[in-house]
Amino acid sequence: MGQVADLPAAPAGQRPAPRQAERRFRALVALAGFDPKSPRWKEAGRDVVGPLLAAEPLHAAVWSAGLRDVKESLLAPLSEVYRDRERPAERRLATFILSDYVGDYPQRLAELLMDADEQQFAVLFPKLQAHGESGLPVLTGEVDKKLPADAKEDDKEQLAKRQANAAVAMLRMNQPMKVWPLLKHRPDPRVRSYLIHRFGPLGAEVGALVKRLAEEPDVSIRRALLLSLGPEEFGKEAWTPEGKRRLVQQVQEMYRTVDDPGLHAAAEWLLRQWKEEAWLRQTNEAGAKDKPQREKWLEGIRQELAKTASRERKRPEGRHWYVNGQGQTMVVIPGPVEFVMGSPPTEEGRGGVESQHRKRIGRTFALAATSVTKEQFLRFLPKFGHTEMKRYPDPTCPIGGVVWYEAAAYCNWLSKQEGIPEDQWCYETNPRGQVTKLKEKYLSRTGYRLPTEAEWEYACRAGAATSRYYGESAELLGKYSWYFQNAGERTWPVGSKKPNDLGLFDLHGNVYSWCQERYKEYPQGAQVEDDIEDILSIDTQEGRVLRGGSFLSPASFLRSANRYMLVPAYRYIYVGLCPARTFR
């Protein structure tokens, strides 16, 4: 292949002129049939790929056919473009050329498939499927791959995406047994989360997921299956009218009867996606009015907590949620629990006041599944309003612009509405009903209150050690959160984004939530710190904790460990509340 080396080339460091580059490309295509085995093609391959992918698709098809004899030299540069999301048009063309060049090699197809986007997957999967099970060892090997604990976050993200793609391919090849366990909740949930959002776009059969939902014994896998079945995930065309009707009926029954709050919330989310808000509202209002049923649920929860304490059972059985008289779902979180609070130094977006430390919450507590909505708050304070009420346009949007004192007073009001004895309320008030201080031993009282910072973070994480309860990357953030990029400078109805595994919505975004205590520096050292009561007095000039981020926040603020503060009398449009209470 001496002729290739003798073709005119541009001086070092300069691009060849367009006419010169075209002449060189055409000459290389012509020479590909004369001396395809020359070792110099390895260097010439990159010179070919650029002009090839810049050509019109019809011309590129002709050129690529002419270059087939030297395809081994073109695979590496073509694969680089195939994986480059900044070059969509060239990437698409590279996909078709690669599908031709490696179509007879199932192992290579499988490797490419695991880095494919939706369009690339649709091109490559039929070719892999035509080989039967020949590509399965590559797919299963990737699913089984483990990275060391100190691996870089980028490597963890890449592996998670590849494993999700491999799992969908295996499911479509009728090899599901390694797929379902990937949906089990783990401290690092990113593979699970990517898989939830790739079943539909990558062509999995919706019937396979619905069938598994009816058979699956693991509750966290069932939650993930529900979160995979939305019309946005699969597209409305994936469902027959009868299939949709049966699914909705099945999910409605789950919503009414399941004990697990995470499964209950996943069912709620899916029903909202299928425009069943009217049914949900009717069901919740009926639950709010059914005081005997509510008392029965609460008594059952208390009995199971007592049994757990006496038998040293790890987790109480039975229902872990109830609907209060205001129609708010309260999620019961059994204690005691211990977890790592804060963020590691390597976490992207981390603030300097998030040092990791072990925290112990020595009680069972409940937290509202959503922030308090506008219509709920106005029952407490009908004349409440400020100049930015347009930020909460719908009755079911979370209320904002609430100062800490109003949030605490709402909790006292809620205790009163629920018939909780006044000696169990958590805030002292003046004759006008204004909160003046916290009551002694407020963490032992059963009245409604604001969550402690530790309670909020533990509930938000829901067992995840990653920066967000679904994983790390902001790539999926819009599926779980209303924030600056997608909210349009307003709040949105609660429960419209995906919940976490404890059954809690909108913990990332929509509105910040006030916490009970003052903003303090985290402790240093390895010892476990108990979550205890703060001082009882309230200094109007001392900041109190806010958590969760808001509709105005950038992605970096929407992390489980992110902390913010405001003085208790300060009113700002992005601050709301989410009530809690101690159970035991």
Residues near 508 by Cβ (< 8 Å), separated by ≥ 6? 460, 468, 469, 477, 480, 481, 483, 548, 549, 558, 559, 560
| The token pair that represents 189 in the structure block | 């949930």
Q: How far is the CA of 217 from the CAs of 230, 528, 558, in angstroms?
A: 21, 35, 33
Read off the tokens for 84: 């480059």
DSSP state of 237: G
Half-sphere exposure of 99 (CA within 13 A, CB side): 21
Whether the Cβ atoms of residue 326 and residue 372 lie closer than 8 Å to each other:
no
pTM: 0.92
- Angle subtended by helix axes 18-32 and 41-54, to nearest 10: 120
3-state secondary structure of 441: coil
Q: Which domains does the chain have, with CATH numbers?
A: 1-13+25-101 (no CATH), 182-287 (no CATH), 320-582 (3.90.1580.10)
Contacts 24+ apart (CB under 8 A), 305-311: 305/334, 305/364, 305/583, 305/584, 306/584, 308/334, 309/584
Q: Which two tokens stand for residue 328?
A: 């708010």
Judged by DSSP in three states, 565 sits in strand
Kindly give the confidence (pLDDT) of every residue in the chain, 584 residues in length, as a single tens digit, with 9 standing for 90 and above: 344 444 344 444 445 556 666 777 777 776 666 666 777 777 776 877 888 888 888 888 888 888 888 888 889 999 999 999 999 999 999 999 999 999 999 999 999 999 999 999 999 999 999 999 999 999 999 999 999 988 999 999 999 999 999 999 999 999 999 999 999 999 999 999 999 999 999 999 999 999 999 999 999 999 999 999 999 999 888 889 999 999 999 999 999 999 999 999 999 999 999 999 999 999 999 988 888 888 888 888 888 888 776 655 566 777 899 999 999 999 999 999 999 999 999 999 998 899 999 999 999 999 999 999 999 999 999 999 999 999 999 999 999 999 999 999 999 999 999 999 999 999 999 998 899 999 999 999 999 999 999 999 999 999 999 999 999 999 999 999 999 999 999 999 999 999 999 999 999 999 999 999 999 999 888 899 999 999 999 999 999 999 999 999 999 999 999 999 999 999 999 999 999 999 87
Nearest CA-CA partner of 504 in 425, 560, 563, 445:
560
3-state secondary structure at position 177: coil
DSSP assignment of 42-95 equals HHHHHHHHHHHHHS-HHHHHHHHHHTGGGHHHHHHHHHHHHT-TT-HHHHHHHH
CA 256 – CA 253 distance, rounded (Å): 5
Can you name the residues that pair with 449 across neighbouring β-strands? 580
**Residue among 544, 461, 451 at smallest CA distance from 502:** 461
